[in-house]
A = this chain, B = another copy of it.
Amino acid sequence: MEHRIEKIKKQLHSQSYKLTPQREATVRVLLENEEDHLSAEDVYLLVKEKAPEIGLATVYRTLELLSELKVVDKINFGDGVSRYDLRKEGAEHFHHHLVCIECGSVKEIEEDLLLDVEKIVESQWGFEVKDHRLTFHGICRVCQKQAVAASSAKENKE
């Protein structure tokens, strides 16, 4: 964890930004909740637990800054809120998401599945790909099992 904070600190310094206590607190919250997809409000509330004097605007400013530096990715699942996701160490690309339309869960895929597709896009459309966003909507493993269980229960009943 400290190692990653050091790294982010260097990234900030390289663009002559500072890692202020507020920014550090925000980054720590992101690191501690890496699995989640926090909204700015979520981050604000979590940071407030440790540093109650922080302002919401600062959280927004920090997230925006981290987003520009590609430390976090700003994503939007269509619910009207932006969510912020730490980019994994060394990852060049945005990771992919699996959004379950039943339970709303979001799972991440680290593997880059788009290398071949990007080659096609570059050769066929002459488009130089810099980054991508890929989200699948569907039914997660858990909900599939529940659906099966529910339908067999119904059969027994009938």
**A residues in contact (CB < 8 Å) with B:** 74, 76, 78, 82, 98, 100-101, 107, 109, 113-114, 116-118, 120-121, 125-141, 144
Give A119 Cβ to nearest chain B Cβ, in Å: 10
Partner of A138, one of B82, B98, B127, B140: B127
Complex contact A135–B136 (CB within 8 A) = no
Which residue on chain B has the smallest CB distance to residue A100? B127
Contacts of A117 in B (CB 8 A): 113-114, 117, 134
Complex contact A116–B116 (CB within 8 A) = yes
Complex contact A138–B129 (CB within 8 A) = yes
The A interface is mostly helix, strand or loop, or mixed, namely strand
Partner of A141, one of B126, B132, B136, B138: B126
Add 9 more A-B contacts to A130-B138, A133-B133 (CB < 8 A).
A76-B78, A100-B127, A101-B130, A117-B117, A126-B141, A127-B141, A128-B138, A129-B138, A134-B134
Complex contact B137–A125 (CB within 8 A) = no
Partner of A137, one of B101, B131, B140, B141: B131
Complex contact B125–A144 (CB within 8 A) = no
